[in-house]
Structure 1
Amino acid sequence: MLRLAVIVLLLANAGYYAWSQGLLRQLGYAPQEQSEPQRMNQQIRPETLQILKVNPSKTSSAAPPGSTSTPTSPSQATAANDSPAPPTTPAASAPADSAECLQAGVFDDRQAEALRTAAAGLPAGSWMLEPTPIPGRWMVYMGRFDDIETLDRKRAELRARKVDHDRAGGTLELGLSLGRFASKEAAERELTNLGTKGVRTARVIQERAEAPGFTLRLPAVNDALRAQLDVLRTAMAGKTLRACG
């Protein structure tokens, strides 16, 4: 059965080949010819057509300049990719010696004069004393008492009334301070408040009058100047330098 199928397949292939090649045309078996006679009729004087030869030298010379490019070999492309990038300009480094503004104060007239003497050896323009008036101060004061016994007795009374107090100090001894204030008005308000607590013998006094003062200012302290600031230590009367504010 398989042999018969193979024989039939071979005969079919042979028949198709004979038909497609026109071998069976005499028997009336042949593929239809594909022809387009109308295209021949549309041609205008086909006998005048000529085939010309092109001169290769003229063709190459007629090419526009720059139109040809030299091919790049793989090795050249690799070398171009591996070439180091142009060096970049390093960013400007920050100044190693940064300066800061420092100040101290407030100093009274006597302290300011001592500072002027101590700072005389510092570079010109590196320091200044800015006028900064010292405001007056007011106190709710009780005293002056005749002796320590009277002072202690008054302290006991104030503690019993839960009134805060401390020593007045300086030329106001023997006396007690019931509060210090930046203005007379604030001190008088506190005195009125203390009256509601039974305090009767206190009064408002000016502890310190307004006075001229000065602030020491060093606008640009760098490492070199900072090393010279020890000369100011004694004249600063215990005050310390701090950042300008």
Structure 2
Amino acid sequence: MLRAAVLVLLLANAGYYAWAQGLLRSWGWAPPEQSEPQRLEQQIQPENLRLGRANGTGTTPNGNANANGGEAPAAPATPPAPASTAAPSTSEAAPASAPPVAAAEPAPCLQAGTFEKGQLDALRTATAGLPPGSWTLEPISLTGRWMVYMGRFADEDTLEKKRAELRARKVPYDRPGAALEPGLSLGRFSTEEAAERALATLGTQGVRTARVVQERTDATGYVLRLPAATAALRTQAEGQLRGLLASRPLRACG
């Protein structure tokens, strides 16, 4: 029974295969043909179709070369590859940058003074040899000044005796200036009241012959200024103004 079933199944499969392949078409047993003639009718000038090659020649549909050199339809252009945005390799050595140049320090500003109006002519004569524009004379207001003064003495011997007395009492003194020579200055003050108080204090120390005098009235003084005093300019100025700068050395501008 099983053998008969297997034999029937094999015969059925063989018959289906023969029917599907059209082997039984002559007997009228075959599947219907699938065709779409309307697609052929929709073609536009199929005889002009050419297959392109890399060398620019074409082939006809039957495989022969196109002797007329007809060109095949252009293939769509391939878009260019986008530029790489990747960062450059760190293995590439960057050009070495030059070391920064240290800026030269500006020349300092120096000044000397105060000089009185009567010294202006001597100042202008001494600075005439300095480079033009390298110096200025700037006026400043000078308030009056008072001095506790001893003098004038008749001679140098009397002056020396007074110096010895002051040293014994431990009282400091100084030269009063050319206008009050020969004499001794026991202190200079910006107000007359301050000078009077100092005189009273000296009286308790045994100083009896001193008095308060006005050394200077309100006036205008002058400061010599070197705005950019290079080492060479400073040396030149100190050489040419040696006498005037003896008691007023150059110092940093205030």
TM-score by length of 2: 0.49
Following TM superposition, by how much is the alpha carbon of 1:168 offset from its aligned partner in structure 2, in angstroms? Answer: 4.5
Is 2:127–2:240's contact at 8 Å kept on the other side of the alignment?
Answer: no
Correspondent of 1:207 among 206, 215, 237 = 215
One-letter code aligned to 2:226: L
Instruction: State percent identity of aligned pairs.
Output: 57
Residue 82, structure 1, aligned to residue 91, structure 2: yes
Residue 196, structure 1, aligned to residue 220, structure 2: no
One-letter code aligned to 2:112: A
One-letter code aligned to 1:204: V
**Structure 2 residues not aligned, in runs of 5+:** 1-79
Correspondent of 1:230 among 209, 232, 236 = 236
Greater shift in the superposed pair: 183-192 or 110-119: 110-119
CA offsets, 1:26-78, max 9 Å, x none? xxxxxxxxxxxxxxxxxxxxxxxxxxxxxxxxxxxxxxx98xx9xxxxxxxxx
Distance 1:146 1:228 in 2: 43
Following TM superposition, by how much is the alpha carbon of 1:149 offset from its aligned partner in structure 2, in angstroms? Answer: 6.1
Distance 2:106 2:132 in 1: 19
Q: Does the C-alpha gap of structure 1 residues 97 and 133 become closer, same or farther in structure 2, counting only changes over 3 Å?
A: same
Mapping of residues 1-245 of structure 1, within 5 Å: 80-85=89-94, 87=95, 90=98, 93-96=101-104, 98-120=106-128, 122-146=130-154, 158=166, 161-165=169-173, 168=176, 170-222=178-230, 226-227=232-233, 230=236, 233-235=239-241, 237-238=244-245, 239-245=248-254
Name the SS for the 1:207 alignment partner. strand
The structure with more helix, counted as a fraction of residues: 1
Following TM superposition, by how much is the alpha carbon of 1:181 offset from its aligned partner in structure 2, in angstroms? Answer: 2.3
Following TM superposition, by how much is the alpha carbon of 1:83 offset from its aligned partner in structure 2, in angstroms? Answer: 1.4
Distance 2:143 2:183 in 1: 23
Q: Which has the higher contact order (CA 8 A, sep 6+)?
A: 1
Is 2:138–2:223's contact at 8 Å kept on the other side of the alignment?
Answer: yes
Name the SS for the 1:212 alignment partner. strand
Is 1:103–1:215's contact at 8 Å kept on the other side of the alignment?
Answer: yes
1:38 maps to which residue? none
CA offsets, 1:150-172, max 9 Å, x none? 55665565556554445555343
Distance 2:224 2:117 in 1: 12
Following TM superposition, by how much is the alpha carbon of 1:222 offset from its aligned partner in structure 2, in angstroms? Answer: 4.7
Is 1:97–1:222's contact at 8 Å kept on the other side of the alignment?
Answer: no
Distance 2:125 2:162 in 1: 47
Distance 2:214 2:105 in 1: 48
Distance 1:109 1:198 in 2: 38
Distance 2:127 2:181 in 1: 37
Count the aligned residue pairs.
168
